[in-house]
Every structure is written in structure tokens, then in C-alpha cells.
Structure 1
Amino acid sequence: MKRASRFKTVPTTLLLMSLMAAGANAAQLATDTPAPDFTLKSSSGENLKLSEYRGNVVMINFWASWCAPCRQEMPLIDALHQRYEKLGFTVLGINVDSDSSAAIKWLKEQPVSFPILFDSENSVSQGYQVAAMPSTVMVDRDGKIRFTHLGYQPGLEAEYQQQIRTLVAE
């Protein structure tokens, strides 16, 4: 029994090592670099462009309907959006499902107040080198990437809040 369980941990260890390496690369690439611009169709049917939000602090959150941590953090991100929106903060939730119907269904059960965009071809997520679900990028008022986060664990929203406060105060 012990031998079998030891072998089951090897893929998990390799996955964690890969995510750590991806996180290190993302942090190096992201620091004070311009956020790649994009235009995506939103759940309201209109096209939204990142550059239209210049002057605001933008949290870009990449998520998928099948991702349990994404579902867990979505209401917390919505609360942050509602709390700081009047200070020039917005969230753009980018769904990466190849078929958006599952995301639309889930959003009917768990609506959010921020725009949801659909990246079914994963062109934007590739441009941002998304390596984990969820992935979050904080963009400052000048359009530069300031913070990145791979994955979600309970309590991370406190770090998001600190970063939002820092960026809206600039």
C-alpha cells in the first residue's frame, strides 16, 4: 500500500513544480510591462477592449466553468468589484471554456456585477501566458501589469484587496 501511494504523488509533485516554474516566469515577464490589449465579446453581447479601461485599475481574472477554485473565488471577486468600483476599479472576468454554454449556465446561478468576456479560442489567455486556473492579473491605471496570481486559495482575496488599495491610491 505505501508503495502505491508513493507513486501516486509523483505526478502531483511534477505538476506543482511546473506551476511554480510557470509562476516564476510569469512574475518576471509581468513586472511593469504593458498589459497586452485585447478585444473580446462579453456576456451582454458587446465587444469590450482592455485599452478602453485605461485610467482605471483592472483585475483580469481568467476562469473556467469546470474549475472549482474559480467558482469559489468568483463571489469574493464580485464583492471586491462592488466595493472599489467607485474608486476607479473594475474586474474583467475572462472565461476560457471552448464552449461558453456551461459558463453562461453557471453565471445564471451565480451572477456577478462585472463584465464576463469569452476567450473560447484561448488567444488572450495565451497572450497572458496563463498557466493555471484561475489566474489573475492586476493592471494599473497606466495599463501596466503590476501583480499576477496563479491559482486560488482561501484568504487570497485579502492580498487582492491590499493590491487594489495600493493601485487605486496611485
Structure 2
Amino acid sequence: MERVLIRVIGDAIVELTGGCDGDRVFVADADVERATGWTIKALPGDRRGLCRGDVCIPVADRARLGPDGWIDLAALGAAVGRPVAIETTVSRGGAAVVVMGHPAAERAAALRSLRAPDVRLPTVDGSEVGIGDHTGRKRLLVAFASWCGCRYDLAAWQQVHERYADNGFTVLAVAVDESVDVVRPWVDAAGATYPVLIDADHTLVDAYGIRNVPTVVWIDEDDRIVRPNAPEFGDDQFLEFHGQPSGPHRAALHRWIVDGVTPYEDDDAVRADQLMPDEDQQLARAEYRLAVELWRGGDVGLAERHFVRAGELAPHDFTIRRGSMPLRGQDPFGQPFFALYRQWEAAGRPYYTEPVAVSHDS
């Protein structure tokens, strides 16, 4: 086993000395809690388990977790149900990198609760805003990106924000982008006064299960999701291309904001309309996060392998496949996008409806 510096990215980013053996990464028993939040404890009946808080998962065979005194992080991930993405080639940053993602079951349970995850992110103006900062107001959460035509919708969302501000309503926009620099021109051009958050690490994307942009989520005054992820546009300037008219959504939004009429009969109907993550999706998110970390460190070749792997695991996730194009030197409005678009249409337009017929009479 070769001793190396390891960067573990999970709920936090931790660097520590561990070991690599081929494509396996190990941390010492004494370091596993700092690295992962889990620890090995003795359980009744001369057993051992992986424990975190009040949760303990029995380990039938300690040897499966690694040699005595060491924990294989991939084996730990498998034992506790967390997807793990690994790059053992020491990066330019001087470390092997491990990303421990969130389990699909954990994410699905959180979404089914209909409690809006209170994610906090930096904004284009340099502050930090959380979804829960606007508790007591109805919120339209709008995920968009500079690599999507929906960047032109920001002005339309500004109109919605202004029209209903006195009704206790706020637009919250989230840019699924790497930096403020690529987002700010679109925010400034729209004259947006609502908060615009930057989700460079896909933290909110993961928590809300977002797979494409634009996506909107309705959140009520009590932080409950009353309408789950839906592909909606602020206006109809690209209607012929995407086939999603803005009128029905804006009318429904008005009824909810002004009259309190929600589009679902009850919570079960909301849940039935949710798109839940699966294990491949969550592993894809971990692979994408690993690729971005390597890309930021200048390891473009290593990053490319993991961008490709993420796309293979989640072939119709545009936040991964199209979202990675600018980082990979590809044009998100050029041939790489149209190739992806054709694959997506051939698969039945996942997440979208069939395009409406567009009149050319007006």
C-alpha cells in the first residue's frame, strides 16, 4: 500500500494521509470518522458496526472493509449505501480524490417528505442565501444556466417577481454554473432584483433531484413543496424549439399566489409527480463532482474520464451532460448539444411532454 495524501469530498472536504493500492483508497481506522462521519464501534454479541449518530450498521466480516487498521472507502460506501467515485492517480493538487455522494434512498425519502431542502449557496452579489431565508413567503425556485437558452427567461421571471411581490411572493433563481462571471451578464441584462444563487458544486441540484434546466419548484410559506420539479419557461421566445408554452404555468402560478389554489388535490398527488433518484443517478452525481474537482485542479485528462462516466450513468441528465460541455471545451449550443438532443428525443423526451403544435399565423 502506497501512502498518499487523500482529499475526501462528502458533507465536507477533508484532506488526510491514507493509502492507495491499485484503484482502492484506504484511511486508517482512527481517521475514518473525520473523513466520512462514520466510525467503527463494538456492538452487542461480539459484533462490530459502522455507526453515525444513532445509526449503526452491523458489519458481518470486518475483513471486507479492508486490512486490519484500515478502511477501504469504496467498501465503506457500499456498506452504508453511499455512492463513491474515486481517482487514485495523484492529481496536480498532490492528492488522490474520493467523492462520497448521497444515497438514492436518502434523497428520495427527503423529497417524499415534501420539505424543501434548505440549501445555502453564494449569490452573484457576493452574499449567501438559503432557501429557508424566505420562510413565510411563497417562492418560485427557478433553476437555469448560462449554457441554456433559459438564460433569456430571467427578465420574464423579474416581471413575475415584481408583479406578485406584494402578495408575499419571491422568485429565487439558481444558476447551475461554475462561476459568477458566466452568470452575471445575463442577470444584469435582465435587471434581476431577486436573489440569484450559484450552484457550482450541484449541491441544490442534488438535493432537489434536478436533471435539466429550466426547472421550477413551488415552495409555500411553510417550506413545503407544493409543486415538484417541472420544466417551465418564463416566456415563449423558444416555444417552437422546446414545445413548452409558458401561459398555462403562469396562469396556475397566479391562482396559487393570489387565490391559494394549488395544482394538486393532496400531498400524495404531489409525490406521484416527483421524479425520484436511483442509484445510477446518484453515482453519476458523485462522478460529476469528482470530475469538476479534478478539472478545477488542472487535471483535464483525468477529469474527462469521470465526465464521460457520469454521462454514461445518467445519459439524459442535462445538468451533467450539457452542463459539463463548457468545462470540456465543447459548445453547449453547438453540435455536441444537438447530438445529445437527438439522443434525448429518441428516448422519448424524458422529463418533458411532447411539443405542442406552434402556430405561425401571428
Q: What TM-score do you get using the length of structure 1 for normalisation?
A: 0.74
Q: Which amino acid aligns with 2:125?
A: S
Deviation string, structure 1 residues 116-139 (Cα, Å, up to 9, x no partner):
111111111111111111111010
Q: CA deviation at 1:162?
A: 2.1
Q: CA deviation at 1:154?
A: 5.6
Unaligned ranges ≥5, structure 2: 1-109, 234-242, 261-362
Q: Which residue of 1 aligns with 2:143?
A: 62
Say which is worse superposed, 133-142 or 42-51, in terms of deviation.
42-51
Deviation string, structure 1 residues 1-25 (Cα, Å, up to 9, x no partner):
xxxxxxxxxxxxxxxxxxxxxxxxx
Identify the match of residue 246 of structure 2 among 134, 156, 159.
156
Matched residue of 2:201: which SS? coil
Q: CA deviation at 1:100?
A: 2.6
Identify the match of residue 184 of structure 2 among 72, 95, 104.
104
Say which is worse superposed, 139-148 or 105-114, in terms of deviation.
105-114
Q: CA deviation at 1:166?
A: 1.7
Q: Which residue of 2 aligns with 1:82?
A: 162
Q: CA deviation at 1:141?
A: 1.1
Deviation string, structure 1 residues 133-161 (Cα, Å, up to 9, x no partner):
11110101111111131253563254234
Q: What TM-score do you get using the length of structure 2 for normalisation?
A: 0.36
Q: How many residues align?
A: 142
Q: CA deviation at 1:43?
A: 1.7
Q: CA deviation at 1:30?
A: 5.4
Q: Which residue of 1 aligns with 2:304?
A: none
Matched residue of 2:226: which SS? strand
Contact in 2 for aligned 1:80/1:161 (Cα 8 Å): no
Q: Which amino acid aligns with 2:168?
A: G
Q: Quote the Cα distance in structure 2 between the aligned partners of 1:123 and 1:169.
A: 33
Contact in 2 for aligned 1:60/1:137 (Cα 8 Å): yes
Q: In the superposition, relative to structure 1, how do residues 144 and 168 fare at CA in structure 2: closer, same or farther (>3 Å)?
A: farther
Say which is worse superposed, 49-58 or 154-163, in terms of deviation.
154-163
Do structure 1's residue 123 and structure 2's residue 172 form an aligned pair?
no
Matched residue of 1:33: which SS? coil
Larger Rg: 2
Q: CA deviation at 1:97?
A: 0.6
Unaligned ranges ≥5, structure 1: 1-28
Contact in 2 for aligned 1:31/1:145 (Cα 8 Å): no
Say which is worse superposed, 99-108 or 119-128, in terms of deviation.
99-108
Q: In the superposition, relative to structure 1, how do residues 160 and 149 fare at CA in structure 2: closer, same or farther (>3 Å)?
A: farther
Which of the pair is proportionally richer in helix? Answer: 1
With CA pairs under 8 Å and 6+ residues apart, which has the higher RCO, 1 or 2?
Answer: 1
Q: In the superposition, relative to structure 1, how do residues 107 and 139 fare at CA in structure 2: closer, same or farther (>3 Å)?
A: same
Q: Which residue of 2 aligns with 1:40?
A: 121
Contact in 1 for aligned 2:120/2:130 (Cα 8 Å): yes
Q: Quote the Cα distance in structure 2 between the aligned partners of 1:100 and 1:150.
A: 24
Q: Quote the Cα distance in structure 2 between the aligned partners of 1:158 and 1:79.
A: 16
Matched residue of 2:164: which SS? helix
Deviation string, structure 1 residues 90-109 (Cα, Å, up to 9, x no partner):
01110111123111122222
Contact in 1 for aligned 2:154/2:186 (Cα 8 Å): no
Q: Quote the Cα distance in structure 2 between the aligned partners of 1:122 and 1:111.
A: 25
Say which is worse superposed, 96-105 or 146-155, in terms of deviation.
146-155
Q: CA deviation at 1:57?
A: 0.3
Q: CA deviation at 1:41?
A: 1.2
Q: CA RMSD in A?
A: 2.3
Q: Quote the Cα distance in structure 1 between the aligned partners of 2:113 and 2:226.
A: 6
Say which is worse superposed, 57-66 or 31-40, in terms of deviation.
31-40
Q: Quote the Cα distance in structure 1 between the aligned partners of 2:259 and 2:208.
A: 25
